[in-house]
Amino acid sequence: MSEHVHPPQGGRCGDAELKMGSVTSYFGPLCGKEEKIEEERHFRANDRPFNLSYHYADNAIKTAKYNLFTFLPLNLFEQFRRLANAYFLFLMVLQVIPQISSLSWFTTAVPLILVLSMTAVKDASDDLNRHRSDKQVNNRLVDVLIDGELKNEKWMNVQVGDIIKLENNQFVTADLMLLSSSEPLNLVYVETAELDGETNLKVKQALTVTGEMGDGIDALAGFNGEVRCEPPNNRLDKFKGTLNLDGQTYSLDNDKVLLRGCTLRNTEWCFGLVIFGGPDTKLMQNSGKTIFKRTSIDHLMNVLVLCIFGFLALMCTVLAIGNAIWEVREGSVFTVFLPRDQEASAALSAFLSFWSYIIILNTMVPISLYVSVEIIRLGNSFYIDWDRKMYYPKSDTPAQARTTTLNEELGQIKYIFSDKTGTLTQNIMTFNKCTINGKAYGELFDFSGQRVEITEKTEKVDFSWNQLADPKFAFHDHSLVETVREGNEEARAFFRLLALCHTVMPEEKKEGELNYQAQSPDEGALVTAARNFGFVFRSRTPESITAVELGRQVVYELLAVLDFNNVRKRMSIIVRDPKGKLTLYCKGADTIIYERLHPSCNKLMEVTTRHLNEYAGDGLRTLVLAYKDLDESYMDEWKLRHHEASTAMDDREERLDQLYEEIEKDLMLLGATAVEDKLQDGVPQTIEQLAKADIKIWVLTGDKQETAENIGYSCNMLREEMKEIFVVAANTAEAVREELQNARRKMCPDGAEEPTVIKGRAGLFWMEKMERVEDEKTEGEYGLVINGHSLAFALEKDLQLELLRTACMCQTVICCRVTPLQKAQVVQLVKKYKQAVTLAIGDGANDVSMIKAAHIGVGISGQEGMQAVLSSDYSFAQFRYLQRLLLVHGRWSYLRMCKFLKYFFYKNFTFTFVHFWYAFFCGFSAQTVYDEWFITLYNLVYTALPVLGMSLFDQDVNDRWSFQYPQLYSPGQLNLYFSKKAFVRCMMHSCYSSLILFFIPWAAMHDTVRDDGKDVADYQSFALLAQTCLLIVMNIQLCLDTHYWTAVNQFFVGGSLAAYFAITLTMYSNGMFLIFTSSFPFIGTARNSLNQPNIWLTVFLTSLLCILPVVAFRFILIQLRPTINDKVRTKLRKEALPAPAPRRPPARRISTRRSGYAFSHAQGYGELVTSRRFLLKMPLRSRPALFTQTDSPLAQNQPQFYRTIAEEPEDSQGPRAGGAAAAAE
């Protein structure tokens, strides 16, 4: 790969990185090496021998599990950990011993080898892909400073303490301390999408003392600073360390560090010192372990297989004892013509017959069970891949089942953990509405005064009069343009404010082609709106702002920027226009601005508030705008005090805040803006459907609280009719406990104070300890919003059960400001104590740990690169496809798998029990009741396809009805269709059927003669009759179980019966006997028996006695205790298909809650914008483009925040956890 990694490759480049648990230590423990825990990292720049003595990890990464030598042993070891595989291996060994075996060894060997090799090939190809991606990442090249010169080195050879040079658009090689850069003030711009999902730029700044070295190779080579810092950890938002240089100590924090996984943007070059490499980097530390996921049915099957082994051993013991008794009592009579071996005794005979019966009765757990399960899962995965209704044409993305082993678990989901940005929202901001001087703009009304819904077909405002307008900006209310162009003063002041009061950086490549780089997407949206309405922000210097107002260029003198921060929640700017008039422009959150307005604005404030409530009801993000005229003398005096405060050594922040407070009062209200953060299509409907299916949805987002709440409302997750929405935002553990307890007591006043934890055991041999917290009932619906600070306390040992109890009582839980690791911890908490199936869905690298932690991980292939998709089990392009994945594919897969298992155990138990009854009639001699060929072909040919047909095509109701009645989903969550109870019922049913299938043919054949007087009561004729009855009954039972007939099912059932008769007649023919005499002893049996009417009457009677009770029982059950499926199916017979639901415009919600400040959550750039050294570049060179695609709607420069709903080219994705999350705390 070339040295410059350009953005288009960006998505894939970090792929490998996140899939890695630190596998490097995999073999450490095996070799007996003790891992020392690192307390502190200490290294020296440019001193490899010194740094190597600490044995820090180098920069190579390893995510693959196997290599050439370890593949076979490790893979076989993993496969034989599956109980059934080990059991079949044991059987095969038994079948090779001639004294025991009454069946040939190939009946077990062939299927076992097939299964093992299929799985091994699948594992090998997965691992090869991992090797490839590791190799690709490890072999990327970077410039490293070695022995005083820059050399091109592979990434994997980079060591801690090396100095490396990065260029624009390159990936950051390892975690680095920034030394110097090409930009003024030693700034660099990085994009952190791989780490926290944010596509806008972050700014990092080097220490001045290292920045002075610039790109002087000699200075850098002579740099010998010593760094002491924290050991490797997974906190993306914090870094503590110190640099010792020439006897001085400088402190290092997160702003001086570039993390692996970031991309350098807009910066020609920079130099950095490697702090952490490879597995120690924060990216790798955050990647979470890859867990081998198994479904609950897998776990249940393991337990059932154990029970079956126990039962098998019991049966064989009974038969062996029977053999001993028979040998002593009856066996001596036969020794005349069946002489025994000399040393043989009854005990030895019993011992051998025990093992012989183990071989004969092994069909209770046939290996074909495992093969069939894999085939069914594969088939159901293909349905997901092929589903056209989950294909997204705009980005040409089909749904993809990346794991084939988890399908039926999709039908049992109880909790969904979703990311917000890019999963629920598109992360695209649009300027939708505004209110200026009491008049609202942006809505359309028809002649009768009714609100018209705005769609893509609605006529747009024509901005062609404005040469500098942004062609991608769309607005539909023509009256606003007319107001501005007619010379309305308030409207002009409104847009002038938007064009001046911000920290956006403009970039003009060609004359008139403007690109804005904003700190948050909504800042960009507001400046773009002003630009289109004729107030174009053109350029800025530290002392001035140039704007083009309705075609006229105006230069404003910039006197002060009163910057935004989380406490102020507002931003102001003081400018002098060309006429010398001084004005302060301010924009901010409504509550904050309202407190500072002049009393004369009260009337206007009421009207504006009404509009703001409407906007909040639509889920829009609002900002209020105000201004104030200043007089010259006051301003001079204020500037002096401002200068003193800003250079003060102590209490600088407080003094500045007081000054800002003093000047920002008695403001005049202009109006308010409403920006829409578009939701993805169909999100509210999907959430409503999933809630009806009794699935609980938790949103875990790195975004700030107001944004998350707003989206909660617009998604229908939080509803006005909810009884109460609790907000937990305390800053100490005690206060968090109190808030959680108060919420719990309100929801469930008579609940116990202490949580009841039910302890139990589960798993194989009941080795695993299990703890479960019961669900508690509440009256009405509640919501819970908890922020990252409080969540950190709540996840600690002594508080987590309190959090779990309170959260699980709520219908909706929203956690904001969450780090990637906290997302995973929340998922694990629910997994551990709820014993419910969980699903995590996200689209960015910061969702990877959560996707890996949940039972099922779903990745959305959106705008944030491919990280989430690569770690996921299922992926698709839009959140709304989740309802189809669960309510249709998931439910069907679960239903099919349960039906398959019940029927499969039934047919095999029945088959095996007949052997058991026969033992009492053959002196317990381990003779088989059926022909040996029938035993070999029973599971492989005669019954394989019909049951596969049912398990691949069966549906209780079709997809439309599944959507119409989401309640159909709930039996899966409660595991109603296949459980230990269902298994016991299945065994009892088999026991009854096998008694009929053995004793009716036995009694009917007893002493019977053919119509020509010859005998039919011989062993071979009986074997043929028994197996024919068995097969016909099994097929009728299958037909009763099938709800949905297709041509394929009919063909399989008819075909397998036809195949049975054809094969039987062939095998029992003279020709086969003459060619292979010893293999086909049943000569002529078929034609002698099957032409007798009494044989067919026996088959009919047996079938009737087996099937009638089943039909009667099912009929009575539906009458007395119908399941939800029965009710819907009855309804379905009476009604026509439901039509697809119409798209209705959403109802208007008037809300008193309002979105918070729509700026970035990090400190603003006011200082930077006005700093003297900023923009002191050589005038010749224009800055390189921020994004190579100029059409990105995101020209941004620091955390993004708000988003909203229409299907647009989805371009970009925003705020996320991690770095962003902390910036605000």
Residues with catalytic function: 419
Beta bridge partners of 762: 768
Q: What whole-number distance in Å separates Cα of residue 543 and Cα of residue 1121?
A: 80
The CA-to-CA distance between both ends of the chain, in Å, stands at 40
Q: Is 585 exposed, middle or buried (0-12, 13-18, 19+ CB in 10 A)?
A: buried
| Helix segments in 65-216, DSSP class H | 71-80, 83-95, 106-138, 193-196, 208-211
| CA nearest to 114, candidates 403, 371, 302, 365 | 371
Q: In this structure, what is the dihedral angle of CA atoms 844, 1199, 285, 207, given to the nearest 10 degrees? A: 150
Place of tokens 């998709």: 869
Q: What whole-number distance in Å separates Cα of residue 859 and Cα of residue 851?
A: 8
DSSP string of 347-401, one letter each residue: HHHHHHHHHHHHHHGGGGS-HHHHHHHHHHHHHHHHHHHH-GGG-BGGGTB--EE
Q: What is the largest CA-CA distance in the chain?
A: 133
Q: Which helix (H) or strand (E) holds 199?
A: none
Q: What whole-number distance in Å separates Cα of residue 899 and Cα of residue 978?
A: 8
Read off the amino acid at residue 92: M
- Structure tokens, 1128: 């819907």
- Structure tokens, 1023: 């074997």
Place of tokens 């019977």: 1008
Q: Could you tell me if 525 and 622 are in contact, meaning their C-beta atoms sit under 8 angstroms apart?
A: no
| CA nearest to 402, candidates 289, 293, 286, 283 | 293
Q: Which helix (H) or strand (E) holds 760?
A: strand 757-762
Characterize the bridge pairing of strands 505-508 and 514-517.
antiparallel
Q: What whole-number distance in Å separates Cα of residue 461 and Cα of residue 1116?
A: 68
CA-to-CA dists, residue 317 to 324, 351, 441, 929, angstroms: 11, 9, 86, 19
In three-state form (DSSP H/G/I as H, E/B as E, the rest C), the secondary structure along 1006-1032 is CCCECCCCCECCCHHHHHHHHHHHHHH
| Helix segments in 229-366, DSSP class H | 282-285, 296-326, 332-334, 346-360
Q: What whole-number distance in Å separates Cα of residue 942 and Cα of residue 758?
A: 46
Q: What whole-number distance in Å separates Cα of residue 14 and Cα of residue 261?
A: 6
Check residue 96 and report its DSSP letter: T
Q: What whole-number distance in Å separates Cα of residue 258 and Cα of residue 176?
A: 5
Q: What whole-number distance in Å separates Cα of residue 514 and Cα of residue 532?
A: 12
Q: What whole-number distance in Å separates Cα of residue 805 and Cα of residue 751?
A: 11
Place of tokens 């929801």: 747
